[in-house]
């Protein structure tokens, strides 16, 4: 009896395992079917897009060629008109001269015939007048008429080899490729932006430059956002929680034409953009309020972010154009906004001065970074290292801070008396000319 029950249990276990294997097999098949469907859609969508691009390109090309041919035809016709007018003008003048001579000869003939056939009493006087007039007209002087070999004979010289050249060029114009040599690899959310990374997937392809394009999911046309040798780029001015489509292509070493586009992919950011606070007298802001310019105002103070939008785990980046430095200048982050200070070199703040000095809670550290230069970037990275229990009443709270500038960095611990889920950023400059982009 026990052996039979054991056999039944064994059969049940095997059946359950077979059922689970069948489920797993079905899931795998369904996943592969979805992959096949996506592959089919990618082929069909890219083929449709390629047809549209080809039709539009050749339509534009035909329009341009027709326009160029019409312009060339008009130029040649105008040239014919000019030659015709310039060549016929002296002939017209000669014709007028001859016609005038014929008219004069007709008048002279009539007068001569009248003199010869007139009355005898008046004949001598008429004949005398006629003879004088005939001598005055110089009947032996005839105008020169050009021979046919001396006048232009217009003709069109058309080289039939143009059609052959165009035919060969047209038959070689354009290609259809199915495998782009570069593909998008990763999207990293940034405040008001997306860090896009791509990679080369064709080992035989040697890239010289990359070209990144993007568009809103609702837009019809892509636009260039980066062209250069790097394999990543931060696309700024991205609206949060909105889908954007990206694609990338490359140009081979020593080539002029671009490769086929990568498979378009969707990227988005959920992080609101960093913005400076508007209204501080000493600073002028860009329309998006992510660039601050220290103006000529004598007013001095710290320009803070509009909100505490910097979170631990992110990278905060400042890129600046330099002016005259001062030891009280500062770029950094802080726990809270505080009016009345002229620098972030104070408690509850970490910052770097434009001369490279690093300050933690108002105290200068021994380690120092290079001085801030025009176009360089200063980055802040932080991670939480909690020392003690954190509560609403406060507690020991430590952040590990990394500040980088000009390929050097300093790392230190920043101890606070309260939990900080987000931080403000700020800057202060004593002299005009400083401009700071934050992202």
Other Cβ atoms less than 10 A from the Cβ of 155: the count is: 7
Closest CA to 288 of 215, 380, 192: 192
What values do phi and psi take at 252, rounded to 5? Answer: -70, 160
Closest CA to 112 of 97, 96, 123: 123
Closest CA to 143 of 181, 107, 91: 91
Sequence spans of domains, the chain: 13-172, 182-269, 283-438
Sequence-separated (6 or more) residues with CB below 8 Å from residue 128: none
Q: What order of strands is seen across the sheet that includes strand 283-285?
A: 283-285, 291-294, 435-438, 315-321, 377-385, 397-405, 408-416
pLDDT at site 67: 95
- 5-14 burial, b if ≥16 CB within 10 A, otherwise e? eeeeeeeeee
Sort 271 into a burial class: Cβ within 10 Å, 0-12 / 13-18 / 19+.
Answer: middle
pLDDT tens-digit series, residues 85-105: 988 888 888 888 888 878 877
pLDDT tens-digit series, residues 39-61: 888 788 888 888 998 899 999 99
Dist. CA 156–CA 262, nearest whole Å: 50
Strand partners, 381: 315, 402
Residue ranges in the chain whose pLDDT is less than 70:
1, 118-123, 130, 134-135, 138-140, 387-395
Strand partners, 425: 333
Residues 334-341: contacts with CB within 8 Å, 24+ apart?
A: 334/304, 334/423, 334/424, 334/425, 334/426, 335/416, 335/418, 335/420, 335/423, 335/424, 336/424, 337/277, 337/304, 337/424, 337/426, 338/302, 339/301, 340/301, 341/301, 341/302, 341/428
182-269: CATH architecture? Sandwich (2.60)
pLDDT at site 145: 77
358 in Cβ contact with 413 (< 8 Å): no
pLDDT at site 395: 52
pLDDT at site 154: 85
The runs of H, that is alpha helices, within 363-421 are none
Q: Sign of dihedral through CA atoms 279, 283, 288, 291?
A: negative
pLDDT at site 326: 92
Q: What is the longest distance spanned by two Cα atoms in the chain?
A: 177
Which is the CATH superfamily of the domain at 283-438?
SPRY domain (2.60.120.920)
The owner of tokens 């199915």 is 178
Dist. CA 384–CA 395, nearest whole Å: 13
Strand partners, 252: 207
CA 311 to chain centre: 32
Cα 304 to Cα 14, 43, 307, 335, distances in angstroms? 67, 50, 8, 11
435 in Cβ contact with 321 (< 8 Å): yes
Model confidence pTM above 0.85: no
Residues 341-349: contacts with CB within 8 Å, 24+ apart?
A: 341/301, 341/302, 341/428, 342/300, 342/301, 342/302, 342/428, 343/302, 343/428, 344/302, 344/426, 344/427, 344/428, 348/416, 349/426
Residue 431 three-state SS: coil
Strands (E) located in 322-434:
330-334, 349-352, 357-360, 363-368, 377-385, 397-405, 408-416, 424-428
Residue 373 three-state SS: coil
pLDDT at site 39: 80
pLDDT at site 155: 87
Dist. CA 114–CA 412, nearest whole Å: 132
Tell me, yes or no, if the two domains 182-269 and 283-438 fold the same way.
no
Dist. CA 77–CA 71, nearest whole Å: 10
């Amino acid at each position: 009896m026990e052996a039979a029950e054991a056999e039944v249990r064994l059969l049940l276990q095997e059946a359950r395992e077979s059922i689970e294997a069948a489920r797993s097999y079905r899931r795998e098949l369904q996943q592969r079917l979805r992959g096949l469907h996506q592959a089919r859609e990618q082929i069909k969508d890219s083929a449709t897009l390629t047809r549209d691009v080809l039709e539009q390109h050749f339509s534009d090309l035909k329009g341009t060629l027709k326009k160029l041919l019409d312009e060339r035809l008009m130029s040649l016709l105008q040239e014919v008109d000019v030659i015709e007018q310039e060549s016929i003008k002296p002939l017209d003048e000669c014709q007028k001269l001859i016609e005038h001579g014929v008219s004069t000869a007709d008048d002279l003939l009539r007068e001569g015939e009248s003199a010869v056939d007139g009355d005898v009493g008046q004949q001598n006087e008429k004949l005398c007048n006629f003879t004088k007039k005939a001598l005055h007209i110089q009947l032996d002087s005839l105008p020169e008429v050009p021979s046919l070999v001396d006048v232009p004979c217009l003709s069109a010289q058309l080289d039939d080899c143009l059609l052959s050249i165009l035919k060969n060029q047209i038959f070689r114009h354009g290609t259809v490729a199915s495998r782009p040599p570069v593909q998008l690899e990763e999207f990293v959310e940034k405040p008001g932006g997306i860090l896009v990374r791509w990679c080369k997937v064709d080992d035989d392809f040697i890239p010289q430059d990359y070209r990144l394009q993007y568009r809103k999911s609702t837009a019809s046309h892509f636009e260039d956002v980066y062209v250069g040798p790097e394999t990543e780029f931060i696309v700024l001015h991205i609206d949060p929680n909105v889908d954007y489509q990206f694609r990338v292509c490359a140009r081979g070493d020593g080539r002029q034409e671009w490769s086929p586009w990568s498979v378009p992919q969707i990227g988005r950011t959920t992080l609101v953009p960093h913005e400076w606070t508007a209204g501080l007298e000493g600073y002028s802001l860009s329309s998006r309020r992510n660039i601050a310019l220290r103006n000529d105002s004598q007013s001095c103070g710290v320009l803070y972010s509009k909100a505490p939008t910097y979170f631990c785990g992110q990278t905060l980046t400042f890129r600046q154009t330099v002016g005259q430095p001062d030891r009280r200048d500062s770029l950094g982050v802080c726990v809270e906004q505080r009016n009345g200070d002229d620098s972030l070199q104070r408690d509850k703040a970490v910052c770097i001065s434009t001369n490279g000095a690093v300050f933690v809670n108002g105290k200068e550290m021994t380690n120092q970074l290079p001085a801030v230069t025009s176009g360089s970037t200063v980055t802040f990275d932080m991670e939480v290292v909690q020392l003690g229990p954190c509560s609403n009443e406060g507690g020991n709270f430590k952040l590990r801070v990394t500040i980088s500038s000009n390929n050097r960095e300093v790392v230190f611990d920043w101890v606070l008396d309260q939990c900080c889920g987000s931080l403000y950023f700020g800057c202060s400059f004593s002299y005009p000319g400083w401009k700071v982009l934050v992202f």
